[in-house]
Structure 1
């Protein structure tokens, strides 16, 4: 093959429109995300809390240190829930983009590692 020739993929490209969906009237919505550079690696998490009209209520960004990508996701959810609790939010929809956190197929090995960590975080802050 010559340098100027392109390799064509036989896979069809599927485009989907993705948009934020507001919560039901009287509710708030929290979107969080976490990521690590490497797994484990330097990690960050962030999130936003919006009202039913999409107005920004509160947000956060965290430098976590070194951890796995799933744990960074959990830190984002945890910190977001703390933010909502302190803001006295009583009706909250939590939205994450991590299939691992939202899916029952989250591997049992990851659960054994991550969930006790969440318990330690919670106990150290609230008990």
Structure 2
């Protein structure tokens, strides 16, 4: 990993010294899942966690595969109203963009935030049950991704879902990213199908 220019925080007193940057880089280089994330992004993320600093993220507009050995899980929701009958969907793909599995199903009448949380919850549950590792999870809900990254507090009504997800995440390496809907189109299509299904469905290939 190349040494970046010294990243500057919005708090002038937090601008790192050369020694701090070298120490930070030495620490993150030994963690495999960080090799596709720039040191600048990691440093800024550390500032967000430690000092509750907000940062404008680079939003992904198109789906793209990751480095060899890493998986990508996209999740989404759809509904016929807000609140209204809702469905969830998700898709797991490998570093060549090939489908590993997908899911879609109904979750009853609910609002958009609960539907997005439940889509993430279902996707992470399936991933952990498969005993897989090294995954980037993408969704187009900025709030849910922010809560999964530990920035801010989720509404208390989702305590059950987040407690379970945090427990599951101890067993593997996860990274969460917010993307535009254009980069989440396959999960969106599955979620729209999920609204009309009777039960949760799992797929080894995409449904027609």
TM-score normalised by L of structure 1 = 0.69
Q: Does 1:78 align with 2:83?
A: no
Counterpart for residue 62 of structure 2: 19
Q: Counterparts of 1:89 and 1:117 in 2: how far apart (Å)? A: 23
Q: Which structure's residues are more often helix, by fraction?
A: 2
Shift of residue 117 of structure 1? 4.5
Matched residue SS, 1:79: helix
Q: Counterparts of 1:37 and 1:116 in 2: how far apart (Å)? A: 26
| Aligned partner (choices 110, 126, 131) of residue 67 of structure 1 | 110
| Aligned partner (choices 81, 84, 93) of residue 38 of structure 1 | 81
Gaps of 5+ in 1: 1-16
Counterpart for residue 145 of structure 2: 102
Matched residue SS, 1:64: strand
Matched residue SS, 2:127: helix
Contact 2:71/2:95 (8 A) holds in 1: yes
Q: Counterparts of 1:83 and 1:27 in 2: how far apart (Å)? A: 16
Count of equivalent residues: 104
Q: Bigger CA drift: 44-53 or 93-102? A: 93-102
Matched residue SS, 1:38: coil
Contact 2:92/2:101 (8 A) holds in 1: yes
TM-score normalised by L of structure 2 = 0.44
Contact 2:85/2:109 (8 A) holds in 1: yes
Counterpart for residue 111 of structure 1: 155
CA-atom RMSD in angstroms: 2.7
Shift of residue 84 of structure 1? 0.8
Q: In the TM superposition, what whole-angstrom CA distance separates every residue of 1:62-83 from its partner, at most 9, and x where no partner exists?
A: 1110111111111111111111
Gaps of 5+ in 2: 1-59, 169-208
Q: Counterparts of 1:82 and 1:102 in 2: how far apart (Å)? A: 16
Counterpart for residue 6 of structure 1: none
Distance 1:70 1:61, change over 3 A: same
Shift of residue 119 of structure 1? 5.2
